[in-house]
Structure 1
């Protein structure tokens, strides 16, 4: 951290915020206040959304890109990096906005390349109170830091969307295939997932898939769905990196979505094979500590009893071998060799 740079930035923000402008971008208080966006010009516009104040009373600002078409139509909302180390969605949004021709667009695209700016700056998954925003919805107006931030997303961002895509990646120490999470019992949500041309489509209603027993915690996707907004989660590979192949596939998938919504007359065909459909998934964990090897690949089909993990002690001796409990496909896997008991091995998808 550079104290001088941080202080200078705070001073700049303090000066320009008085006129509701930062640089050349207008600062808005909420996206669902249509009066603030009613003057959005045709074309591509950039805004800063005020999501609260920091310790020094300065605004916490989130970047917003609006691509406004000439004709009336739906609003496609796209959010990226609700986990601060999940970055592939950011260049997907950037490339999409640069590629769209507003004169051919009906409606508008509102994209947020870094909805959790504080954690992006800190290179960390969780919010500054060490809680997961994507397990904190619907949030509380008078709750903890993460709960208030989740509540602001619900109140200031989600209501303006007609359809929502939430862009994710794996977290530190893990890698993911390119897969979509959607409630496959809903035809609209299943279609949205298929339009992305992912390797895997996982049936999931949007609740946290692990790590919580509280029915009160919900994901951004589940909250959008509760508000009547069709929403899916798309997982694009690995954390804290840009992966050009997945970025390209991500942009193509969103163009397919726009075409299906009749917002944009262009289908970007994909050479990818048909996705594998999974009815459920779960993580498999170690039951003791050691150094882990996971000798399987992403998207690999595995059979019950196949070796999925080899655990060695500090002297290189094999102390455990983990076998697949049933047939499935590798959605994600651990890349961190150092594990205590309860370490992740792999994310196993169970085929329909």
Structure 2
């Protein structure tokens, strides 16, 4: 909850005011500062503080597009509480269209960071030290890595009834309960008793309108549920298909048994039965083609959209329910 005086990065934020700040703790090897814009909007009335982040992996553009839309439509301006948006956490990776930080590290594997660690670790430390203590809730937007396209989904930890309820309010097609990934942003926030929804949708270096819409609408539902703003008119005008959210507790990857050209025969989000032919792999010369069969029934929550795969590559992610 808010108090009368709130400081973000050393700047006092008054009731009813908004400001763009810059986190500029690091420089390129050319001595050029890399500034990470942080957009803060505080309402006149007290309420919860929501952090909305994207681009922890610099090539996950669709998440960045979701936060951009929230800001451009002024949906980040609450009537109660405060919203902090960091549209591009990993500006370094965004500039280079790469997942990692310039030091080669995955930012989402070094939290809570260290003031004397690697470049990524130092950056993570300042995010946790300067921003995280101010917040109550977080929505963190991601996409699938490389060519793997995720159906819009929320990932949460098990045994947290409040966060499960919020995930259902976000209303994605699927809610996936997963174990903690050590040193991830989500794991760190949870250890600090912050409530986190991790959104996954789409793939790297790609923007998909349906994924963007799902991410925007979900954020509006969460803000409305937290009492931060009434979005009933906005939701009525932009809301798409409403799904019966399915809770997934177990899933498994189908991996390529051969290297070759990959052909997908099913739609993302569709239900498959054991033995269904869901794709094939062929050589480029027309000598062989091998079918890929589902080994168990479930829903397809991710498909590798790369046209060429190697033996052992993950190609389908299917729930086990």
Normalising by structure 1, we get a TM-score of 0.81
Displacement of 1:254: 1.1
Q: Does 2:306 correspond to 1:298?
A: no
Matches of 1:339 and 1:258 in 2, distance apart?
41
Residue 151 of structure 1 aligns with which residue?
125
Deviation by residue 1:255-313 (Cα, 9 ceiling, x = unmatched): 11111111113343544121222112232222332222222210010111222331212
- The unaligned stretches of length 5 or more in structure 1 are 1-31, 208-216
Q: Provide the residue aligned with 1:278 in structure 2.
A: 248
Aligned to 1:227: 192
**Number of the residue aligned with 2:52:** 78
Q: 1:34 to 1:116 in 2, by over 3 A?
A: closer
**Alignment partners' CA distance in 2, 1:229 and 1:48:** 23
Q: Does 1:240 align with 2:205?
A: yes
Does the 8 A contact of 1:309 with 1:345 survive in 2? no
- For 1:155 and 1:348, the matched residues in 2 are separated by 38
Alpha carbons of structure 1 residues 153 and 288: separation in structure 2 relative to 1, 3 Å: farther
Say what the alpha-carbon RMSD is for the aligned residues: 2.3
The CA distance in 2 between the partners of 1:244 and 1:331, in whole Å, is 18
Check 1:148–1:303 CA distance in 2 against 1; reply closer, same or farther (3 A cut): same
Q: Is the contact made by 2:156 and 2:164 (CA closer than 8 Å) also made in structure 1?
A: yes
Q: CA deviation at 1:38?
A: 1.7
Choose which of 225, 246, 250 in structure 2 pairs with 1:260.
225
TM-score when normalising by structure 2: 0.88
Q: Distance in 1 between matches of 2:165 and 2:32?
A: 42
Distance in 2 separating the partners of 1:142 and 1:35: 20
State whether residues 15 and 45 of structure 2, in contact with CA within 8 Å, keep that contact through their aligned partners in structure 1. Answer: no
1:218 and 2:186 are equivalent in the alignment: no
SS at match of 1:88: helix
Is the CA contact 1:142–1:148 (under 8 Å) kept in the aligned structure 2?
Answer: yes
| Distance (whole Å) between structure 1 residues aligned to residue 9 and residue 287 of structure 2 | 67
How many aligned residue pairs are there? 311
Flag structure 2 segments of 5+ consecutive residues without an equivalent: 1-5
Tell me if the contact between 2:54 and 2:87 (Cα under 8 Å) persists in the aligned partners: yes
The equivalent of 1:118 in structure 2 is 92
**1:342–1:251 Cα change, 3 Å:** same
Structure 1 range deviating more: 178-187 or 326-335: 178-187
The structure 1 residue matched to 2:257, chosen from 283, 287, 303, is 287
For structure 1, which segment, 46-55 or 35-44, has the greater mean C-alpha deviation from structure 2 after superposition?
A: 35-44
